[in-house]
Amino acid sequence: MTDTLETFIRGLPKAELHLHIEGSLEPEQMFEFGKRNRVDMPFQSVEEVRAAYAFSNLQDFLDIYYQGAGVLQTEQDFNDMAMAYFRRLHADGGVHAELFFDPQTHTDRGLPFSIAVEGLLSGMKAAEAEMGITSGLIMCFLRHLDEEAALATLKAAEPWLDRVVGVGLDSSEVGHPPSKFQKVFRAAKERGLRLCAHAGEEGPPEYVWEALDLLKVDRIDHGNRALEDEALVKRLVASEMTLTVCPLSNLKLCVVDDLKDHPMKRMLDLGLKATCNADDPAYFGGYIGENFIQTARALDLSREELVTLARNSFTGSFLDEERVARRLAEIDAYVD
Protein backbone atom coordinates (compact mmCIF):
# COMPACT_ATOMS: atom_id res chain seq x y z
CA MET A 1 0.00 0.00 0.00
CA THR A 2 2.65 2.54 1.04
CA ASP A 3 4.89 1.97 -1.96
CA THR A 4 2.00 2.17 -4.40
CA LEU A 5 0.70 5.28 -2.65
CA GLU A 6 4.13 6.93 -2.97
CA THR A 7 4.44 5.95 -6.60
CA PHE A 8 0.93 7.19 -7.35
CA ILE A 9 1.61 10.54 -5.67
CA ARG A 10 5.00 11.14 -7.28
CA GLY A 11 3.58 10.42 -10.72
CA LEU A 12 0.52 12.63 -10.26
CA PRO A 13 0.98 15.90 -12.21
CA LYS A 14 0.76 18.79 -9.76
CA ALA A 15 1.52 22.47 -9.25
CA GLU A 16 3.04 24.10 -6.21
CA LEU A 17 1.33 27.36 -5.23
CA HIS A 18 2.88 28.06 -1.83
CA LEU A 19 6.64 27.90 -1.88
CA HIS A 20 9.00 30.54 -0.51
CA ILE A 21 12.07 30.10 -2.66
CA GLU A 22 14.31 31.35 0.16
CA GLY A 23 12.82 28.54 2.24
CA SER A 24 14.18 25.96 -0.20
CA LEU A 25 17.77 26.85 0.71
CA GLU A 26 19.16 23.60 2.11
CA PRO A 27 21.90 23.85 4.77
CA GLU A 28 24.48 22.31 2.40
CA GLN A 29 23.80 25.03 -0.17
CA MET A 30 23.78 27.66 2.58
CA PHE A 31 27.35 26.65 3.49
CA GLU A 32 28.40 26.53 -0.16
CA PHE A 33 27.12 30.07 -0.78
CA GLY A 34 28.47 31.33 2.55
CA LYS A 35 31.91 30.06 1.61
CA ARG A 36 31.98 31.35 -1.96
CA ASN A 37 30.64 34.76 -0.90
CA ARG A 38 32.79 34.96 2.24
CA VAL A 39 29.78 35.56 4.45
CA ASP A 40 30.20 34.72 8.13
CA MET A 41 27.82 31.98 9.19
CA PRO A 42 26.32 31.79 12.67
CA PHE A 43 26.71 27.97 12.47
CA GLN A 44 29.78 25.72 12.23
CA SER A 45 28.27 22.76 10.43
CA VAL A 46 25.29 21.47 8.48
CA GLU A 47 24.37 19.34 11.50
CA GLU A 48 24.37 22.40 13.72
CA VAL A 49 22.08 24.20 11.27
CA ARG A 50 19.64 21.31 11.18
CA ALA A 51 19.67 21.06 14.96
CA ALA A 52 18.62 24.71 15.14
CA TYR A 53 15.48 23.93 13.09
CA ALA A 54 13.26 23.21 16.08
CA PHE A 55 10.56 25.85 16.14
CA SER A 56 7.71 26.51 18.51
CA ASN A 57 5.96 29.12 16.37
CA LEU A 58 6.19 31.18 13.18
CA GLN A 59 8.43 33.90 14.65
CA ASP A 60 10.97 31.33 15.91
CA PHE A 61 11.30 30.11 12.37
CA LEU A 62 11.37 33.54 10.74
CA ASP A 63 14.28 34.67 12.93
CA ILE A 64 16.46 31.82 11.60
CA TYR A 65 15.08 32.02 8.07
CA TYR A 66 15.97 35.69 7.57
CA GLN A 67 19.46 34.97 8.94
CA GLY A 68 19.90 32.08 6.48
CA ALA A 69 18.97 34.30 3.53
CA GLY A 70 22.05 36.43 4.28
CA VAL A 71 24.30 34.07 2.29
CA LEU A 72 22.44 34.92 -0.93
CA GLN A 73 24.59 37.57 -2.60
CA THR A 74 24.67 37.10 -6.37
CA GLU A 75 22.34 36.36 -9.26
CA GLN A 76 24.12 33.01 -9.54
CA ASP A 77 23.09 32.16 -5.93
CA PHE A 78 19.43 32.85 -6.66
CA ASN A 79 19.65 30.95 -9.94
CA ASP A 80 21.29 27.92 -8.28
CA MET A 81 18.82 27.92 -5.38
CA ALA A 82 15.88 27.99 -7.81
CA MET A 83 17.35 25.20 -9.96
CA ALA A 84 17.89 22.99 -6.91
CA TYR A 85 14.23 23.53 -6.00
CA PHE A 86 12.97 22.78 -9.53
CA ARG A 87 14.94 19.51 -9.62
CA ARG A 88 13.22 18.41 -6.39
CA LEU A 89 9.85 19.50 -7.74
CA HIS A 90 10.45 17.54 -10.94
CA ALA A 91 11.26 14.40 -8.93
CA ASP A 92 7.94 14.85 -7.12
CA GLY A 93 5.84 15.10 -10.29
CA GLY A 94 5.60 18.90 -10.12
CA VAL A 95 5.08 20.53 -13.51
CA HIS A 96 4.31 24.12 -12.49
CA ALA A 97 5.24 26.36 -9.56
CA GLU A 98 4.37 29.87 -8.43
CA LEU A 99 7.31 31.00 -6.34
CA PHE A 100 7.17 33.53 -3.54
CA PHE A 101 10.20 35.67 -2.92
CA ASP A 102 10.78 38.43 -0.37
CA PRO A 103 12.56 41.35 -2.08
CA GLN A 104 12.75 43.37 1.14
CA THR A 105 14.74 40.63 2.86
CA HIS A 106 17.44 41.27 0.28
CA THR A 107 17.19 45.00 -0.44
CA ASP A 108 17.18 45.79 3.31
CA ARG A 109 20.63 44.17 3.59
CA GLY A 110 21.96 46.22 0.68
CA LEU A 111 21.45 44.01 -2.38
CA PRO A 112 20.18 45.83 -5.47
CA PHE A 113 16.59 44.82 -6.36
CA SER A 114 17.78 43.29 -9.64
CA ILE A 115 19.95 40.56 -8.05
CA ALA A 116 17.19 38.37 -6.62
CA VAL A 117 14.70 38.91 -9.41
CA GLU A 118 17.12 38.40 -12.31
CA GLY A 119 18.69 35.33 -10.68
CA LEU A 120 15.29 33.75 -10.06
CA LEU A 121 13.99 34.55 -13.54
CA SER A 122 17.04 32.95 -15.15
CA GLY A 123 16.54 29.80 -13.01
CA MET A 124 12.87 29.69 -14.00
CA LYS A 125 13.76 29.93 -17.67
CA ALA A 126 16.36 27.18 -17.37
CA ALA A 127 13.89 24.91 -15.53
CA GLU A 128 11.39 25.25 -18.36
CA ALA A 129 14.05 24.48 -20.97
CA GLU A 130 15.53 21.56 -19.03
CA MET A 131 12.50 19.99 -17.35
CA GLY A 132 9.43 21.53 -18.99
CA ILE A 133 8.42 23.08 -15.67
CA THR A 134 6.48 26.33 -16.07
CA SER A 135 6.57 28.89 -13.28
CA GLY A 136 5.54 32.33 -12.11
CA LEU A 137 7.09 34.75 -9.64
CA ILE A 138 5.13 36.30 -6.75
CA MET A 139 6.67 39.20 -4.92
CA CYS A 140 5.77 39.20 -1.22
CA PHE A 141 5.64 42.23 1.05
CA LEU A 142 6.94 41.74 4.59
CA ARG A 143 3.99 42.51 6.84
CA HIS A 144 6.12 43.30 9.91
CA LEU A 145 7.32 46.37 7.98
CA ASP A 146 5.05 49.31 7.15
CA GLU A 147 2.98 49.94 4.04
CA GLU A 148 5.29 52.74 2.88
CA ALA A 149 8.08 50.16 2.56
CA ALA A 150 5.76 47.86 0.61
CA LEU A 151 4.82 50.73 -1.73
CA ALA A 152 8.51 51.54 -2.25
CA THR A 153 9.11 47.86 -3.08
CA LEU A 154 6.34 47.87 -5.68
CA LYS A 155 7.90 50.98 -7.20
CA ALA A 156 11.38 49.44 -7.25
CA ALA A 157 9.89 46.42 -9.02
CA GLU A 158 8.43 48.50 -11.90
CA PRO A 159 11.01 47.41 -14.52
CA TRP A 160 10.24 43.73 -13.84
CA LEU A 161 6.47 43.84 -13.37
CA ASP A 162 5.83 42.30 -16.78
CA ARG A 163 7.69 39.22 -15.53
CA VAL A 164 6.00 39.03 -12.11
CA VAL A 165 2.63 37.31 -11.89
CA GLY A 166 1.46 38.62 -8.55
CA VAL A 167 2.08 39.97 -5.07
CA GLY A 168 1.76 38.30 -1.68
CA LEU A 169 1.90 39.15 1.99
CA ASP A 170 4.05 37.15 4.39
CA SER A 171 6.19 37.23 7.57
CA SER A 172 4.89 37.70 11.16
CA GLU A 173 1.11 37.50 10.94
CA VAL A 174 -0.30 38.32 14.37
CA GLY A 175 -0.42 42.07 14.96
CA HIS A 176 -0.01 42.80 11.23
CA PRO A 177 -3.49 42.43 9.70
CA PRO A 178 -4.15 42.60 5.97
CA SER A 179 -5.93 45.96 6.53
CA LYS A 180 -2.46 47.50 6.93
CA PHE A 181 -1.75 46.91 3.22
CA GLN A 182 -4.87 48.05 1.36
CA LYS A 183 -3.18 50.80 -0.65
CA VAL A 184 -0.35 48.67 -1.94
CA PHE A 185 -2.65 45.79 -2.88
CA ARG A 186 -4.92 48.22 -4.75
CA ALA A 187 -1.88 49.62 -6.58
CA ALA A 188 -0.70 46.10 -7.46
CA LYS A 189 -4.13 45.19 -8.83
CA GLU A 190 -4.16 48.37 -10.94
CA ARG A 191 -0.88 47.18 -12.46
CA GLY A 192 -2.51 43.91 -13.52
CA LEU A 193 -0.94 41.74 -10.82
CA ARG A 194 -2.71 38.82 -9.13
CA LEU A 195 -3.09 38.97 -5.38
CA CYS A 196 -2.58 36.55 -2.51
CA ALA A 197 -1.96 36.89 1.21
CA HIS A 198 -0.98 34.64 4.09
CA ALA A 199 -3.96 34.64 6.43
CA GLY A 200 -5.24 32.35 9.14
CA GLU A 201 -1.92 30.56 9.68
CA GLU A 202 -1.55 31.93 13.22
CA GLY A 203 -3.84 34.93 12.81
CA PRO A 204 -7.60 34.85 13.51
CA PRO A 205 -10.45 34.32 10.99
CA GLU A 206 -10.89 38.14 10.87
CA TYR A 207 -7.59 38.34 8.97
CA VAL A 208 -9.01 36.00 6.33
CA TRP A 209 -12.12 38.20 6.04
CA GLU A 210 -9.86 41.24 5.65
CA ALA A 211 -7.75 39.55 2.97
CA LEU A 212 -10.95 38.82 1.03
CA ASP A 213 -12.86 42.04 1.57
CA LEU A 214 -10.14 44.67 1.91
CA LEU A 215 -7.28 43.28 -0.17
CA LYS A 216 -9.54 41.42 -2.62
CA VAL A 217 -7.14 38.52 -2.93
CA ASP A 218 -7.35 35.76 -5.54
CA ARG A 219 -5.91 33.18 -3.12
CA ILE A 220 -5.53 32.68 0.61
CA ASP A 221 -2.22 31.23 1.77
CA HIS A 222 -2.79 28.72 4.61
CA GLY A 223 -6.29 29.67 5.82
CA ASN A 224 -6.37 27.01 8.56
CA ARG A 225 -8.11 29.20 11.11
CA ALA A 226 -10.95 29.96 8.68
CA LEU A 227 -12.44 26.70 9.96
CA GLU A 228 -13.26 28.42 13.25
CA ASP A 229 -15.84 30.60 11.49
CA GLU A 230 -18.80 28.89 9.83
CA ALA A 231 -19.87 31.95 7.81
CA LEU A 232 -16.33 32.34 6.52
CA VAL A 233 -16.19 28.69 5.42
CA LYS A 234 -19.47 29.22 3.56
CA ARG A 235 -18.05 32.28 1.84
CA LEU A 236 -14.83 30.48 0.85
CA VAL A 237 -16.74 27.48 -0.50
CA ALA A 238 -19.25 29.62 -2.43
CA SER A 239 -16.50 31.72 -4.03
CA GLU A 240 -14.33 28.65 -4.75
CA MET A 241 -11.43 30.44 -3.09
CA THR A 242 -8.18 28.49 -3.31
CA LEU A 243 -6.40 27.79 -0.02
CA THR A 244 -2.70 26.99 -0.32
CA VAL A 245 -2.36 24.65 2.63
CA CYS A 246 1.04 23.49 3.95
CA PRO A 247 0.76 20.44 6.22
CA LEU A 248 4.41 19.84 7.19
CA SER A 249 4.88 23.57 7.80
CA ASN A 250 1.83 23.51 10.07
CA LEU A 251 3.36 20.62 11.98
CA LYS A 252 6.83 22.18 12.34
CA LEU A 253 5.43 25.59 13.38
CA CYS A 254 3.04 23.98 15.89
CA VAL A 255 -0.10 25.14 14.06
CA VAL A 256 -1.11 21.49 14.55
CA ASP A 257 0.32 19.10 17.17
CA ASP A 258 0.04 16.01 15.01
CA LEU A 259 -0.52 15.47 11.29
CA LYS A 260 -3.42 13.23 12.27
CA ASP A 261 -5.12 16.41 13.53
CA HIS A 262 -4.40 18.34 10.34
CA PRO A 263 -7.53 19.98 8.84
CA MET A 264 -6.77 19.01 5.22
CA LYS A 265 -9.38 16.26 5.09
CA ARG A 266 -11.94 18.39 6.90
CA MET A 267 -11.33 21.17 4.38
CA LEU A 268 -11.97 18.81 1.47
CA ASP A 269 -15.07 17.37 3.16
CA LEU A 270 -16.43 20.90 3.59
CA GLY A 271 -15.93 21.58 -0.10
CA LEU A 272 -13.06 24.02 0.37
CA LYS A 273 -10.67 24.30 -2.54
CA ALA A 274 -7.51 23.18 -0.74
CA THR A 275 -4.12 22.53 -2.30
CA CYS A 276 -1.09 20.80 -0.77
CA ASN A 277 2.24 22.66 -0.63
CA ALA A 278 5.65 22.74 1.05
CA ASP A 279 5.98 26.41 2.21
CA ASP A 280 9.68 26.29 3.28
CA PRO A 281 10.78 22.72 2.53
CA ALA A 282 14.42 23.06 3.62
CA TYR A 283 13.23 24.07 7.08
CA PHE A 284 10.13 21.90 7.50
CA GLY A 285 11.37 18.48 6.49
CA GLY A 286 9.85 17.83 3.10
CA TYR A 287 9.08 18.99 -0.42
CA ILE A 288 5.67 18.79 -2.06
CA GLY A 289 5.77 15.03 -2.61
CA GLU A 290 6.51 14.41 1.05
CA ASN A 291 3.69 16.79 2.04
CA PHE A 292 1.25 14.79 -0.08
CA ILE A 293 2.55 11.43 1.15
CA GLN A 294 2.67 12.18 4.87
CA THR A 295 -0.73 13.91 4.81
CA ALA A 296 -2.30 11.07 2.81
CA ARG A 297 -0.98 8.54 5.33
CA ALA A 298 -1.92 10.52 8.44
CA LEU A 299 -5.45 11.30 7.23
CA ASP A 300 -6.00 8.21 5.10
CA LEU A 301 -6.78 10.33 2.04
CA SER A 302 -8.29 8.46 -0.90
CA ARG A 303 -6.89 8.58 -4.43
CA GLU A 304 -9.89 10.71 -5.39
CA GLU A 305 -8.96 13.22 -2.70
CA LEU A 306 -5.34 13.28 -3.86
CA VAL A 307 -6.50 13.88 -7.42
CA THR A 308 -8.77 16.69 -6.16
CA LEU A 309 -5.75 18.33 -4.50
CA ALA A 310 -3.78 18.06 -7.74
CA ARG A 311 -6.68 19.41 -9.84
CA ASN A 312 -7.14 22.30 -7.38
CA SER A 313 -3.45 23.18 -7.77
CA PHE A 314 -4.04 23.93 -11.46
CA THR A 315 -7.50 25.49 -11.30
CA GLY A 316 -6.21 27.65 -8.41
CA SER A 317 -3.04 28.64 -10.27
CA PHE A 318 -2.45 31.86 -12.17
CA LEU A 319 -2.05 29.94 -15.44
CA ASP A 320 -4.34 30.89 -18.32
CA GLU A 321 -7.41 28.73 -19.03
CA GLU A 322 -5.85 26.88 -21.90
CA ARG A 323 -2.81 25.80 -19.90
CA VAL A 324 -5.01 24.80 -16.96
CA ALA A 325 -7.13 22.65 -19.29
CA ARG A 326 -4.00 21.01 -20.67
CA ARG A 327 -2.71 20.16 -17.19
CA LEU A 328 -6.11 18.80 -16.11
CA ALA A 329 -6.09 16.56 -19.18
CA GLU A 330 -2.65 15.29 -18.08
CA ILE A 331 -4.14 14.35 -14.71
CA ASP A 332 -7.06 12.58 -16.41
CA ALA A 333 -4.66 10.65 -18.64
CA TYR A 334 -2.57 9.69 -15.61
CA VAL A 335 -5.53 8.50 -13.58
CA ASP A 336 -6.89 6.47 -16.51
Show which residues are catalytic.
201
- Alpha helical stretches, state H, the chain: 2-11, 27-36, 46-51, 58-68, 75-91, 103-107, 113-131, 147-156, 182-190, 205-213, 230-238, 247-252, 264-270, 281-284, 288-299, 303-315, 321-335
Nearest to 123 by CA among 151, 170, 89, 169: 89
Q: Which stretch binds Zn ion (CB under 5 A): 68-76, 155-163, 250-258, 279-287?
A: 279-287
Rule CB under 5 A: is residue 279 a binding residue for Zn ion?
A: yes
Rule CB under 6 A: is residue 23 a binding residue for ligand ADE?
A: yes
Rule CB under 6 A: is residue 79 a binding residue for ligand ADE?
A: no
Q: How far is the CB of 150 from ligand ADE (least distance, A)?
A: 14
Rule CB under 5 A: is residue 102 a binding residue for Zn ion?
A: no
104 binds, among ligand ADE, Zn ion, none (CB under 5 to 8 A by kind): none
Binding string, 185-204, against ligand ADE, x = CB under 6 A?
Answer: -------------x--x---
Report the residue number, 60 or 128, with the smaller CB distance to ligand ADE.
Answer: 60
Rule CB under 6 A: is residue 170 a binding residue for ligand ADE?
A: yes
Instruction: Fill in the amino acid letter for 226.
Output: A
For residues 215 and 245, the answer to whether their CB atoms sit within 8 Å is no
Can you tell me which of 104, 249, 291, 312 binds ligand ADE, judged by CB under 6 A?
A: 249
For residues 159 and 129, the answer to whether their CB atoms sit within 8 Å is no
Nearest to 275 by CA among 246, 304, 240: 246
Q: Which helix (H) or strand (E) holds 135?
A: strand 134-142
Rule CB under 6 A: is residue 98 a binding residue for ligand ADE?
A: no
Give me the residues that bind ligand ADE (CB under 6 A), please. 20, 23, 58, 170-171, 198, 201, 249, 279-280
